[in-house]
Amino acid sequence: MIKGIHHVGVHVRDLDAMMAFYKAAFGFELVGEAFAWKDEPVLDTLIDVPGSAARGTMLRAGTCYLEMFQFTAPAPRPVSPLNPQDKGYTHFCVDVTDIAQEYERLKGIGMSFGSPAPIDMGHVKSVYGRDPEGNVIELQETAAHCEFRLEALTGNEPRKPGM
């Protein structure tokens, strides 16, 4: 069962500056700790980007999570910022209750995945795939102890102290 869109992912050139901007401009707050990876085959498989290295964070404002990444490998292509009429986004994430079932269902209707199955990261099971036009969509199933469960946005789960 699809529960709703969980977050929007944004790839940025300067993670620290963009975090500060989104905090000041829209009141986003840091959720949990910032994270980073390099030489992590499981993450390369999860996001379907071999040799990846990045820093990232999850931010929250109201009923929206915003995940930001600053990739150092592979080197991002230099591009101009998109305009409203341009095509593209980095990915959106759909929160589900049975990721294995949704993975198979979505494969059956035209999505492709770089990973042969969702990957259990402990706090979340996740897999990145592509719609028929190549746009990236993440599926995730959060564990009960995950700090950024969708229910925290809908008011159906109490906020943890310090958030």
Name the domain count of the chain: 1
CATH number at residue 66: 3.10.180.10
Domain-located, residue 159 = no
Threshold 0.85, pTM exceeds: no
Quick: pLDDT tens for 30-76.
999 999 999 999 999 999 999 999 999 999 988 889 999 999 999 98
Residue 54 corresponds to which tokens in the numbers above?
């990045």
In Å, how far are 19, 28, 38, 93, 111 from 70, measured between CA atoms? 11, 18, 12, 18, 26
Place of tokens 């990846």: 52
